[in-house]
Amino acid sequence: MDSIDTRIIQMLRRNSRESFATIGKSVDLSAPAVGKRVKQLEEKGIILGYSLKLNHGKLGVSTKAIIELRIHQSSTIRTAHNQIFNYEEVQRCDRLTGEDRLSILAYFKNNANLITFIERISQYGVPKTSIILEE
Amino acid sequence: MDSIDTRIIQMLRRNSRESFATIGKSVDLSAPAVGKRVKQLEEKGIILGYSLKLNHGKLGVSTKAIIELRIHQSSTIRTAHNQIFNYEEVQRCDRLTGEDRLSILAYFKNNANLITFIERISQYGVPKTSIILEE
Amino acid sequence: MDSIDTRIIQMLRRNSRESFATIGKSVDLSAPAVGKRVKQLEEKGIILGYSLKLNHGKLGVSTKAIIELRIHQSSTIRTAHNQIFNYEEVQRCDRLTGEDRLSILAYFKNNANLITFIERISQYGVPKTSIILEE
Amino acid sequence: MDSIDTRIIQMLRRNSRESFATIGKSVDLSAPAVGKRVKQLEEKGIILGYSLKLNHGKLGVSTKAIIELRIHQSSTIRTAHNQIFNYEEVQRCDRLTGEDRLSILAYFKNNANLITFIERISQYGVPKTSIILEE
Amino acid sequence: MDSIDTRIIQMLRRNSRESFATIGKSVDLSAPAVGKRVKQLEEKGIILGYSLKLNHGKLGVSTKAIIELRIHQSSTIRTAHNQIFNYEEVQRCDRLTGEDRLSILAYFKNNANLITFIERISQYGVPKTSIILEE
Amino acid sequence: MDSIDTRIIQMLRRNSRESFATIGKSVDLSAPAVGKRVKQLEEKGIILGYSLKLNHGKLGVSTKAIIELRIHQSSTIRTAHNQIFNYEEVQRCDRLTGEDRLSILAYFKNNANLITFIERISQYGVPKTSIILEE
Amino acid sequence: MDSIDTRIIQMLRRNSRESFATIGKSVDLSAPAVGKRVKQLEEKGIILGYSLKLNHGKLGVSTKAIIELRIHQSSTIRTAHNQIFNYEEVQRCDRLTGEDRLSILAYFKNNANLITFIERISQYGVPKTSIILEE
Amino acid sequence: MDSIDTRIIQMLRRNSRESFATIGKSVDLSAPAVGKRVKQLEEKGIILGYSLKLNHGKLGVSTKAIIELRIHQSSTIRTAHNQIFNYEEVQRCDRLTGEDRLSILAYFKNNANLITFIERISQYGVPKTSIILEE
């Protein structure tokens, strides 16, 4: 990875729909040359995908929460991790040092959905819920 | 927002570089018609931007951490929030219920960088650091 | 709800036995007109009822406590909530964020009653009792 | 206080606007006789007042919270108590055993109001906020 | 109980072997009169007994500890209380507010005895041991 | 210290006013011989004094509390210890391992006295109060 | 143990491979005389062995952690202690006051090994992991 | 580092005073060849030194403690770390994740020395002391 690759990644980070032509102008390469480099970055597993930044509030989300789940039995944490990550409300699910636990970032339409979620995951551990007041 | 908009968002979430033509085939619209709808979703502030999923490990990140910062004085939390969010290592910075605190997700090249970061933010509050063991 | 309704609610909050005539003088309406508005506030579910402020100390209460009950299993919290709320000592019973728990405000004639109560609810979770020193 | 007083209090607890006539029928007394007993209960300081049960949600409240405020310096807790109790959002404010702290029950129109409140009271101590998920 | 009784108790508190004659001089009573009052204080259950202040260090105690025992199940706390109070190492055993727990003051000849004690009481709850560094 | 001394101490522990004659019968010694041994136990500093077991409830105590005081600055703990131990409400005052703190056992006539005490000692540290529910 | 023994121990602490001749010069003894004293220190159990200070980083260790293991059941702590101490990653394993727990110092080649270790020991208790950031 | 180096390190770990001749027999090398390899392991910084395992109890140590020191201000932790590590009672001093703190392993002749140590380090942070009950 050279400085041109670094620059391409920077531009795609700001806007992943940027055209290869525009990027090319910035790095003194043709559009196909940029395309080739991007393809290589994908093949090397450096670029994993292209995603969207959404205003979840406008899509009906009223409550964002970080839920720490202290796992009942460490040996079951992997199963828990996989199942929880697949719930559609879940944005991130990280296993942390400290007490053996998952930190779950999830978005909910309302408190009733949050409560249902807490009850669903409480089979794996003891949940501790914090509401996000400001992002 | 109708069911076609919902479907367009779903497809862009999976791959935000998807061409309007491919999306159009899936929703029975022409490419320009898809483009017009996407533009409207941007103008309504529903789509905020197009981002990249990167393998940070391959870009030199060795330590991902969630740092909870219990603020010394609640009245200074906004200043702290703004300054911390602007550090390049910081991916998320959320203000939570419970003890008045910020939850900071940040990526570091090594432990020395993490230590420097902790010392920098400790002017605002008491840091508590958890390393992410698995994502 | 207009400003007259707001004023009527304010007056009833201070003294819910206030006569409609007295309220009427304050808002330039006849007693029956006030009565009609109060009836509508009841029908809309804004006014839920009329209650009493009692000096519980003079009725034999010697110990007021707030008991946090960390529920053993989140899935049983609703059952717990309903049963606990029906005990006559219980004034409030709220489910909170943070660790999944109920916050119970209850009044007791003496410490022996408090102990009996703690033991009764401990089938649902781990109780943590704080005595109210000053209201 | 005899069993008739007890019965009168029970009826007023259910509905503090109940007419003395209706209460009288239940306890075999005339309306004026009931009125005289109620007056005595007020004069003895047993009945402190007549209040309203409102549906705060319909009045614009979206967030109910219990905030524990660990006081910086125990000697200032009385001043803090008085000032906090006078904020209009505050429903209850109790001083508890355990760590020297106030437990504040307060209702807010939105999260921004909650944040302002937290920052205002943080001059007296360290706030810890729990949102009420179910009453 | 009058002021003479109060004075007698004060003197016995300082030295419970004080002769009734010496106490009598101080309160202007004869020895038998003092004896009669002491007998009455015993019969009223005000004086419960006469004990000894020992230097436990010189009797072989090397470790004094306060052990908080968070009870597994509140309903078993009374049984636990009774059994623990009867162990000879135990000086006090109090049930406290906060998390439902016993606070046990106990004296041990050495750390091995402390460990044995902890393991014995751990059938009732989760022990938390603090060593007394200075009395 | 031989087995006779041990026996004498046992008997005085149960009743420190026991006459030397009665003790003597139990250990096959004359009263003066017992007195001589007791004197020696006092001189060796094994017996520190003779105290009273009182029913504090009958003397006006309504609240017994254990207050943990986390000291602001470890270097001031000795001063704090001495001053606190001299308050008449204080029965025990022990410095513990764990967080640097004093564990204070104190008896109060009422909650107002407890509050005054907490505020007085809060100049030295952060108090945490537990009420004794059962001894 | 006299001052010469103390001096010999000091020198071996700095460099346990130091020759008896060099030590002898420092303490005015012949090499065999030093050897004899060292042998006696071994026989008295004062010197338990001669160990190595290694740079574990250069031997492949990337993560050093202190793991506190709160034991499920105090009666099983000895079994746990013995088994855990025998894992090759474990450098120290100490049973502590406070909550009944083991403090385990262990070195790992990578996070995956740390996770495996945590899961293995979680059969005995609840693990709480801290990474060493600086030694 | 090849398998012979690994074997040499293993043997020195068990007994760092082992002669190169004995080690040589085990790895089929001459004593000088072993000496040359050991010298190289030292020069590469893999072997940092040769130390002693002592029975500290027989050298007058009665109390081993792990003291966690939560640092007042993260920016001063390095100064604290250096000074604390130089106290002769200190065996290890590690900076940990979680709350920003040092974990200090130290050995003391008696409780008075432990108390002096706690008071000395409390200028840097809030100490929390655990006594080692079993190693």
Domains parsed from chain E with CATH numbers: 3-43 (1.10.10), 56-131 (3.30.70.920)
Measured between CA atoms, how close is A85 to chain G, in angstroms?
19
Share of chain G above pLDDT 70, in %: 100
Coil, helix or strand for A88?
Answer: coil
**pLDDT at res. C3:** 92
Contact call for residues E109 and E62 (beta carbons, < 8 A): yes
Q: Which of F48, F65, F54 is nearest to F114 (CA)?
A: F65
Q: Test A49 with B44 for CB contact under 8 angstroms.
A: no
Coil, helix or strand for A90?
Answer: strand
Residue type, G26: S
**Closest Cα in chain B to D66:** B98
Measured between CA atoms, how close is B91 to chain H, in angstroms?
19
Q: Which of B42, B46, B49, B53 is nearest to B14 (CA)?
A: B53
D98 in reach of chain E (CB within 8 A): yes
Closest in D74, D95, D97 to F122, CB measured: D74
Measured between CA atoms, how close is C95 to chain F, in angstroms?
24
D101 chain-B contacts, CB cut-off 8 A: none
Residue type, B74: S
Q: Do chains E and B touch (3 or more CB pairs under 8 A)?
A: no
Coil, helix or strand for A83?
Answer: helix
Residue D75 has pLDDT above 80, yes or no: no
C-contacting residues in D 23-82 (Cβ below 8 Å)? 44-55, 58-59, 64, 66, 81
**pLDDT at res. E16:** 95
User: What rounded mean pLDDT belongs to chain C?
Assistant: 94
G129 in reach of chain A (CB within 8 A): yes
Q: Which of F74, D60, F101, G118 is nearest to H121 (CA)?
A: F74
Show which subunits contact D, needing at least 3 CB pairs below 8 angstroms. A, B, C, E, F
Closest in D73, D75, D99 to F128, CB measured: D99
H101 chain-B contacts, CB cut-off 8 A: none
B134 chain-A contacts, CB cut-off 8 A: 81, 94-95
Cα three-residue angle E6-E11-E12, rounded to 5 degrees: 100
A98 in reach of chain H (CB within 8 A): yes
Quick one: F52 exposed, middle or buried, by C-beta within 10 A (0-12, 13-18, 19+)? Answer: buried
**Per-position DSSP letters for chain E, written without gaps between them:** --HHHHHHHHHHHH-TT--HHHHHHHHT--HHHHHHHHHHHHHTTSEEEEEEEE-GGGGT--EEEEEEEEESSGGGHHHHHHHHHTSTTEEEEEEETEETEEEEEEEESSHHHHHHHHHHHTTTEEEEEEEEEE-
- Return the minimum-mean-pLDDT range out of B106-115, E89-98, F75-84: F75-84
E98 in reach of chain D (CB within 8 A): yes
CA distance G105 to G64: 8
C97 in reach of chain B (CB within 8 A): yes
**Per-position DSSP letters for E68-104, written without gaps between them:** EEEESSGGGHHHHHHHHHTSTTEEEEEEETEETEEEE
Contact call for residues D127 and B74 (beta carbons, < 8 A): yes
Q: Test B99 with D131 for CB contact under 8 angstroms.
A: no
Closest in C111, C133, C134 to F133, CB measured: C111
**ipTM surpasses cut 0.95:** no
Contact call for residues A76 and A102 (beta carbons, < 8 A): no
Residue G39 has pLDDT above 80, yes or no: yes
**pLDDT at res. A16:** 95
- Return the minimum-mean-pLDDT range out of C16-20, C76-80, D5-9, E112-116: C76-80
Of residues H132 and B135, the one with the higher pLDDT is: H132
- Which of F52, F128, F129, F135 to mutate to probe the E interface, most E CBs <10 Å? F52
Measured between CA atoms, how close is A28 to chain B, in angstroms?
22
- Span A20-37, average pLDDT: 96
pLDDT tens digits, one per residue of B45-90:
999 999 999 999 999 999 999 999 998 887 788 889 999 999 999 9
Measured between CA atoms, how close is H108 to chain F, in angstroms?
14
A133 chain-D contacts, CB cut-off 8 A: 111, 114-115
H115 chain-E contacts, CB cut-off 8 A: 133-134
Cβ-Cβ contacts under 8 Å between A and G: the total is 26
CA distance A44 to C71: 48
Closest in A65, A119, A126 to C99, CB measured: A126
Closest in C115, C133, C134 to F133, CB measured: C115
State both tokens at B1. Answer: 């927002």
Q: Test A131 with D133 for CB contact under 8 angstroms.
A: no
Show which subunits contact F, needing at least 3 CB pairs below 8 angstroms. C, D, E, G, H
- Span C109-120, average pLDDT: 94
B98 in reach of chain A (CB within 8 A): yes
CA distance B40 to B23: 16
- Span D103-123, average pLDDT: 94
State both tokens at A32. Answer: 């196909």
First-residue to last-residue Cα distance in chain E: 33
**Closest Cα in chain G to F99:** G98
CA distance A96 to F44: 58
Q: Test F99 with H123 for CB contact under 8 angstroms.
A: no
User: What rounded mean pLDDT belongs to chain B?
Assistant: 94
Cα three-residue angle G107-G110-G112, rounded to 5 degrees: 110
Q: Test B98 with D128 for CB contact under 8 angstroms.
A: yes
Measured between CA atoms, how close is H4 to chain E, in angstroms?
44
Sign of the dihedral defined by the CA atoms of residues B99, B101, B104, B110, in that order: negative
- Span F94-103, average pLDDT: 95
Q: What is the pLDDT along chain H (135 residues), one digit of tens a residue?
A: 899 999 999 999 999 999 999 999 999 999 999 999 999 999 999 999 999 999 999 999 999 999 999 988 877 888 899 999 999 999 999 999 999 999 999 999 999 999 999 999 998 999 999 999 998
Residue C132 has pLDDT above 90, yes or no: yes
Measured between CA atoms, how close is C67 to chain A, in angstroms?
18
Residue G82 bridge partners (DSSP): none
Q: Residue A78 — very low, low, confident or very high, per pLDDT cuts 50/70/90?
A: confident
Measured between CA atoms, how close is B68 to chain A, in angstroms?
12
- Span G58-78, average pLDDT: 90
Q: Residue A39 — very low, low, confident or very high, per pLDDT cuts 50/70/90?
A: very high
Q: Residue F72 — very low, low, confident or very high, per pLDDT cuts 50/70/90?
A: confident
Contact call for residues C81 and C95 (beta carbons, < 8 A): yes
Pairing mode of beta strands F63-71, F101-108 = antiparallel
**pLDDT at res. G76:** 83
Measured between CA atoms, how close is F63 to chain G, in angstroms?
27
H100 chain-B contacts, CB cut-off 8 A: 118, 122, 126-129
Residue A72 has pLDDT above 90, yes or no: no
**Closest Cα in chain A to H99:** A98
pLDDT tens digits, one per residue of F22-48:
999 999 999 999 999 999 999 999 999
**pLDDT at res. C1:** 82
Q: Test G51 with H50 for CB contact under 8 angstroms.
A: yes
Closest in H65, H126, H131 to F99, CB measured: H126
Q: Residue G105 — very low, low, confident or very high, per pLDDT cuts 50/70/90?
A: very high
Residue F1 has pLDDT above 90, yes or no: no
Helix or strand holding residue C36 (H, E): helix C31-43
Helix or strand holding residue G75 (H, E): none
H119 in reach of chain F (CB within 8 A): yes
Q: Residue F77 — very low, low, confident or very high, per pLDDT cuts 50/70/90?
A: confident
pLDDT tens digits, one per residue of C74-92:
778 888 999 999 999 999 9
Show which subunits contact E, needing at least 3 CB pairs below 8 angstroms. C, D, F, G, H
Q: Test H131 with E131 for CB contact under 8 angstroms.
A: yes
**pLDDT at res. D76:** 83
